[in-house]
Amino acid sequence: MVNNPLGTAPESEDNPPAEYVLHLYITGATPNSTRAVRNIKALCERHLQGRYELLIIDMYQQPDLAKREQIIAAPTLVKKLPLPLRRLIGDLSEEKKVLAALGLPDVPLSNS
């Protein structure tokens, strides 16, 4: 399963490409995969609202994508953009470490 991007509308003249492109490789509905999906969605909404594209890729249903990206463990988050490319393995529950790996400050966006 490849989910549609979350957090952004389709690219257009009025809507520039996402600043952050993230691919999360999971293995079905396992507890670790479920936690990783929940954790990265919450983190993105708090820190990257409207500035990210998140693809969730089930390695059982899309093994060729995982093989092409050389993903050997799941869940794995791949930060495609901005460069440098980064890979994080695990359920993404340690938010400060995930933010540091993504190059983000540990301060959520304000709604004002």
Render each residue's pLDDT in the chain as its tens digit; 112 residues.
Answer: 444 444 444 455 555 678 999 999 999 999 999 999 999 999 999 999 999 999 999 999 999 999 999 999 999 999 999 999 999 999 999 999 999 999 988 776 655 4
Q: Give the homologous superfamily in CATH for domain 20-102.
A: Glutaredoxin (3.40.30.10)
d(CA 58, CA 2): 7
Cβ(75)–Cβ(23) below 8 Å: no
d(CA 6, CA 54): 5
